[in-house]
């Protein structure tokens, strides 16, 4: 079972209180009238399915009922961070690569 930190409640709670809601940071096209069908289709239906670091939306359904984002490794299920909507993640692919490089240099 995952234990997830809600950035609004400021508490770590059990996974059963939360619902995953898919990929985070999907921006709605600014001008839908001039967006092509392909771009609109990509916005509505196509999502990343990476192996590794993934930014996801979660809902604290049995708590504050607010949406927040989490950075999770899809292989190990480890959650690196949770953060409020509108904030930027500290863990990104670039940061992870830098950490890996630092580790390799230290060996």
State CA 26 to chain mean position distance: 10
- To Zn ion, the closest distance from the beta carbon of 12 in angstroms equals 10
Assess 79 for contact with Zn ion (CB under 5 A). no
Burial class (CB in 10 A: 0-12, 13-18, 19+), 42: middle
DSSP-assigned letters across all residues of 1-30: --EEEETTTTEEEEGGG-EEEEES--PPPS
- To Zn ion, the closest distance from the beta carbon of 35 in angstroms equals 34
Assess 59 for contact with Zn ion (CB under 5 A). no
From the list 19-27, 29-37, 54-62, 81-89, the region that binds Zn ion by CB under 5 A is 54-62
Q: How many residues bind Zn ion (CB under 5 A)?
A: 6
Binding mask 3-22 for Zn ion (x = CB under 5 A): ---x-xx-------------
In sequence order, the 6+-apart residues with CB closer than 8 A to the CB of 32 are 40
Assess 89 for contact with Zn ion (CB under 5 A). no
Q: Rounded distance, CA 25 to CA 87, Å? A: 10
Assess 70 for contact with Zn ion (CB under 5 A). no
- Binding site residues, Zn ion, CB under 5 A: 6, 8-9, 60, 63-64
């Amino acid at each position: 079972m995952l234990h997830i930190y809600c950035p609004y409640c400021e508490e770590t709670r059990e996974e059963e209180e939360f619902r995953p809601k898919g990929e985070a940071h999907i921006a709605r096209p600014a001008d839908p009238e001039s967006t092509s069908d392909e771009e609109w289709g990509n916005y509505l239906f196509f999502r990343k399915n990476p192996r590794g670091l993934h930014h996801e939306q979660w809902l604290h359904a049995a708590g504050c009922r607010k949406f927040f984002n989490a950075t999770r490794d899809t292989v190990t299920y480890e959650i690196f961070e949770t953060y409020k909507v509108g904030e930027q993640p500290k863990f990104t692919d670039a940061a992870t690569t830098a950490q890996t490089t630092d580790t390799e240099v230290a060996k």
